[in-house]
């Protein structure tokens, strides 16, 4: 009897042990394996940032296979790839790099930017080879990444895999309204513009449009689940599609084939994932692509999400030398307590070859009525903000004083003209080209002052002086402007500190375009000759209500409307 109970107890114990072993919740599963493929041609300028974003992906590198193919280069793309593989290749499960340096272009190519029949077929061939490589490695996924894609969100790969979709792409942004998907196509799979009202909310991360959306075409960064049976039908090869009559373009061939096999293509914008450069037009020189990268890098800086490169790839990163901006000095106004803004602006200056002098802004938080009295500053009687119906803020006073002290320096040092920038400037695409054009066009016009960017406050047509310059009407913003010595002297001679109002209001008064006559009466000599870039070549990095928007003028404390015993005029 005792023997039987002992055996039974032992069996029960073993059974419970086996059950516990089979249901061990602590045995975490490995992440799926991913084959990342990239075709590289003449992308030496993008590779340091592209490869760095690849390395920064928060995904176990021993679960990643890298596959690179590079040929027909006229730059040093292969050198960058070899250097990367030598320095970082051992971090990954496997890295495969193949290249051919014998030729720089195809026989039927007219230029390195010409998409000939041979070039498209060559691209398609290696797209197919990339998928085959991933399958030979028994990868669970293949991630087709172009070398002009920069995944600044380290969670991108994990995020997409968690979607459990057959084919999916992260939405990428550029310096203009360009992305890696098409929202609508016609019957021949040509891009169709009639859905722009839906494109913009997607592109701008409107909360009502955030998620994963089925679209007809995706490219640039495409993740495919190779565990799906339907993945066997995925192809970029037009000869594998029965009666294919569409254009010989890899992303369209891929999209048509997916549609015929009922494979949905998804674009996800439920997070910010990164950037893609706009392609150069056929026939343009390769140097234009470098300029497009600069445009994108400046846009990324303005978003406070700059592109990065690993210090070990630094020797391949190009910055222009100090360039001629045809002014005696470039100033940037920056608060001491805003080092984050200063750092971002300095990155922009580096991209643009700007030699800039930082001017410490007068901090409104350090001001009080007594200090203003000691500085002989008196507010304009009766001034009230047109929108907020409040008196002037300490931040607005500090802003005015910051600009004013530069005007004084310009006059005292006898500078011919200077460029003054605030620390929240977004340099719009082709900034240097457009800037040079404005300087050239303004040389034949009498002027003291040029807005480079502004907020137009009146719905009236301005007089166009040249192709890119107008006579400005009532305008706001002082984010960036050129001012001459004579212009600075005119502003100083108006004695604005004795009847102070915001600098946005003062400047339109001085070129006699302010709509409020009672303010203009305080400044009888309104003789500033002003011009304005049209369209603007700079803008603020953030607008009111945008995430990350900070205003040290609007968010500052207004001066009390009650009389001050120390200075009744404040």
**Do 407 and 478 have their domain in common?**
yes
Q: Is residue 27 part of a domain?
A: no
**Do 65 and 189 have their domain in common?**
yes
**Do 353 and 265 have their domain in common?**
no
**Do 274 and 360 have their domain in common?**
no
**Do 377 and 281 have their domain in common?**
no
Helices (DSSP H) in 137-243: which residue ranges? Answer: 156-162, 196-203
- Confidence bin at 549 (pLDDT 50/70/90): low
Q: Is residue 151 part of a domain?
A: yes
Token pair of 417 as six digits:
């003209």
The string of pLDDT tens digits covering residues 107-117 is: 999 888 999 99
Domain boundary among 272, 287, 302: 287
**Do 230 and 106 have their domain in common?**
yes
Domain boundary among 233, 268, 287: 287
How many other C-beta atoms lie within 10 A of the C-beta of residue 135?
Answer: 14
The string of pLDDT tens digits covering residues 410-439 is: 999 999 999 999 999 999 999 999 999 999
Sign of the dihedral defined by the CA atoms of residues 214, 220, 221, 225, in that order:
positive
- Confidence bin at 186 (pLDDT 50/70/90): confident
The string over 177-204, giving b where at least 16 C-beta atoms fall within 10 Å of a residue's C-beta and e elsewhere, is eebbbbbebeeebeeeeeeeeebeebbe
The string of pLDDT tens digits covering residues 374-406 is: 999 999 998 988 888 889 999 999 999 999 999
**Do 160 and 70 have their domain in common?**
yes
How far apart, in whole angstroms, are the C-alpha atoms of residue 308 and residue 554?
32
Tokens 């294919």 map to which residue? 244
CATH number (domain holding residue 212): 3.90.550.10
**Do 369 and 267 have their domain in common?**
no
* Residue range 360-387: mean pLDDT, rounded: 93
The string of pLDDT tens digits covering residues 82-103 is: 999 999 999 999 999 999 988 8
**Do 145 and 91 have their domain in common?**
yes
**Do 250 and 332 have their domain in common?**
no
The string of pLDDT tens digits covering residues 193-222 is: 656 778 889 999 999 999 999 999 999 999
Q: Is residue 21 part of a domain?
A: no
How many other C-beta atoms lie within 10 A of the C-beta of residue 444?
Answer: 9
Sign of the dihedral defined by the CA atoms of residues 425, 431, 434, 438, in that order:
positive
CATH number (domain holding residue 489): 3.90.550
Name which of 110, 141, 74 is nearest 282 in CA terms. Answer: 110
What pLDDT score does 486 carry?
98
Q: Is residue 314 part of a domain?
A: no
Instruction: With 0.85 as the threshold, say if the pTM is over it.
Output: yes
Q: Is residue 26 part of a domain?
A: no
Q: Is residue 223 part of a domain?
A: yes
Name which of 161, 130, 135 is nearest 226 in CA terms. Answer: 135
- Overall number of domains in the chain: 2
**Do 267 and 357 have their domain in common?**
no
Name which of 221, 313, 216 is nearest 255 in CA terms. Answer: 216
How far apart, in whole angstroms, are the C-alpha atoms of residue 475 and residue 326?
25
Its domain, for residue 527, covers 320-540
What pLDDT score does 116 carry?
92
**Do 155 and 273 have their domain in common?**
yes
Q: Say whether pLDDT at 550 is over 70.
A: no
How far apart, in whole angstroms, are the C-alpha atoms of residue 534 and residue 410?
26
Q: Is residue 68 part of a domain?
A: yes
Domain boundary among 238, 269, 287: 287
The string of pLDDT tens digits covering residues 314-357 is: 999 999 999 999 999 999 999 999 999 999 999 999 999 999 99
Q: Is residue 353 part of a domain?
A: yes
């Amino acid at each position: 009897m005792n023997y039987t109970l002992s055996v039974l107890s032992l069996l029960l114990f073993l059974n419970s042990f086996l059950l516990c072993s089979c249901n061990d919740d602590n045995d975490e599963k490995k992440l799926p394996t991913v084959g990342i493929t990239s075709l590289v041609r003449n992308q030496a300028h993008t590779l340091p940032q592209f490869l760095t974003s690849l390395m920064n992906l928060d995904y176990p590198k021993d679960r990643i296979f890298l596959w690179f193919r590079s040929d027909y280069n006229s730059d040093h793309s292969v050198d960058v790839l070899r250097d990367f593989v030598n320095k970082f290749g051992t971090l990954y499960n496997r890295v495969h790099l193949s290249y051919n340096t014998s030729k720089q272009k195809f026989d039927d190519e007219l230029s390195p930017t010409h998409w000939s029949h041979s070039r498209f077929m060559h691209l398609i061939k290696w797209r197919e080879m990339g998928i085959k490589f991933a399958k030979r490695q028994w990868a669970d996924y293949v991630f087709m990444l172009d070398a002009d894609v920069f995944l600044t969100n380290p969670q991108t790969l994990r995020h997409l895999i968690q979607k459990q979709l057959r084919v999916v792409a992260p939405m990428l942004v550029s310096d203009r309204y360009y992305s890696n998907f098409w929202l609508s196509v016609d019957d021949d799979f040509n891009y169709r513009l009639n859905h722009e009202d839906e494109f913009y909310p997607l592109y701008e991360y409107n909360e009502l449009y955030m998620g994963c959306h089925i679209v007809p075409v995706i490219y640039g960064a495409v993740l495919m689940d190779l565990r799906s049976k339907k993945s066997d039908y995925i192809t970029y090869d037009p000869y594998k599609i029965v009666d294919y009559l569409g254009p010989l373009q890899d992303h369209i061939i891929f999209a048509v084939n997916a549609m015929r096999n009922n494979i949905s293509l998804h674009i996800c914008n439920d997070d910010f994932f990164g950037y893609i450069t706009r392609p150069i037009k056929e026939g343009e020189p390769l140097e234009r692509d470098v300029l497009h990268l600069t445009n994108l890098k400046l846009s990324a800086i303005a978003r406070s999400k700059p592109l990065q490169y690993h210090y070990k790839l630094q020797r391949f990163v190009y910055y222009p030398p100090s360039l001629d901006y045809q002014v005696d000095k470039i100033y940037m106004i920056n608060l001491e307590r805003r080092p984050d803004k200063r750092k971002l602006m300095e990155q922009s200056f580096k991209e643009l070859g700007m030699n800039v002098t930082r001017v410490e802004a007068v901090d409104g938080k350090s001001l009080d009525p007594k200090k203003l009295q000691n500085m002989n500053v008196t507010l304009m009687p009766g001034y009230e903000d047109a929108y907020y119906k409040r008196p002037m803020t300490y931040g607005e006073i500090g802003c005015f004083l910051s600009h004013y002290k530069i005007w004084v320096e310009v006059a005292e040092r006898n500078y011919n003209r200077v460029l003054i920038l605030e620390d929240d400037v977004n340099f719009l695409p082709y900034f240097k080209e457009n800037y040079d054009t404005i300087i050239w066009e303004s040389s034949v016009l009498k002027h003291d002052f040029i807005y480079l960017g502004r907020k137009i406050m009146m719905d009236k047509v301005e007089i166009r002086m040249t192709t890119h310059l107008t006579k400005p009407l009532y305008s706001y913003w002082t984010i960036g402007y050129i001012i001459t010595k004579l212009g600075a002297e005119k502003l100083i001679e108006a004695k604005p500190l004795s009847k102070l109002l915001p600098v946005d209001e003062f400047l339109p008064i001085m070129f006699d375009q302010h709509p409020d006559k009672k303010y203009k009466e305080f400044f009888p000599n309104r003789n500033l000759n002003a011009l304005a870039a049209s369209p603007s070549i700079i803008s603020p990095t953030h607008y009111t209500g945008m995430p990350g928007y900070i205003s040290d003028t609007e968010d500052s404390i207004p001066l009390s409307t009650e009389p001050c015993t120390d200075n009744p005029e404040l």
